[in-house]
Amino acid sequence: MNQFVKKVPLICLFLFASAGAGFADERTDADAKSKPKGICAVSCVEPIATSDADGVIDVLKATTKALADHDFTALASHLDVNCTTYNESTHKLVVGRDAIIKDVKANVEAEERKLKVPPISFTIDHPYAMVTGDQAVVTFVLIKEIGGANPVKFASHTSDVFIKRDGQWKKLHFCGGGWKKMKEAT
């Protein structure tokens, strides 16, 4: 293994409530299918990071938590003012933090109306972070689990670009391959 690559804990599991962060020691399938509204688990599986990338992975976890909690103010605090993203639905580039927050909020609300059930968990699967000076790129698969009567998982192959401004990592660009339904294991 490359001397600059380090492994961080195998599974870092956080259970976040809308009012604040609480840590879950264990969850059962029954818990996952009947979770109270406003609680969505966020986990990060085997992150691989080059030196000095822990801060970038922390921001990735924080943005995922903010998305899970529908905390768009917290999400905005981790985006660069000039952030960009590509909207898979409209096939258009979205430019600027405010426009992105508006777009993300609309997409989340539309999806939850369509599915009629909010996500019960997000998993950041095997994120790989590469830091070069004040820039970083993280690639990973984001897995979203929907509960209810017909539980389902979706995956999005994602890349995020970060920039360090005034000592803090901010997302500068992010894109995903859209949410694809995962096949059930047999």
- Whether 79 is in a domain gets the answer yes
Q: What's the confidence (pLDDT) of residue 23?
A: 26
Backbone angles phi, psi at 41, to 5 degrees: -75, 145
Tell me the pLDDT band of 36, cut-offs 50, 70 and 90. Answer: low
Positive or negative, the CA dihedral 27, 28, 33, 35 is negative
Mean pLDDT, residues 24-52: 58
- Whether 139 is in a domain gets the answer yes
Rounded CA separation 144/59 (Å): 18
**pLDDT tens-place string over residues 50-95:** 667 889 999 999 999 999 999 999 999 999 999 999 988 888 999 9
Question: pTM of the prediction?
Answer: 0.72
Number of structural domains the chain divides into = 1
**pLDDT tens-place string over residues 107-159:** 889 888 888 888 899 999 999 999 999 999 999 999 999 988 888 999 999 99
- Whether 95 is in a domain gets the answer yes
Q: What's the confidence (pLDDT) of residue 50?
A: 67
CATH number at residue 33: 3.10.450.50
- Whether 150 is in a domain gets the answer yes
- Whether 186 is in a domain gets the answer no
Residue 27 has pLDDT above 70, yes or no: no
The residue range of the domain holding 14 is: 6-181
- Whether 1 is in a domain gets the answer no
- Whether 115 is in a domain gets the answer yes
Longest dimension (CA), the chain: 49
Rounded CA separation 139/166 (Å): 24
Q: Which residues pair with 165 in a beta bridge?
A: 168
CA 180 vs CA 41, 53, 78, 97, 151: distances in Å = 20, 28, 26, 26, 14
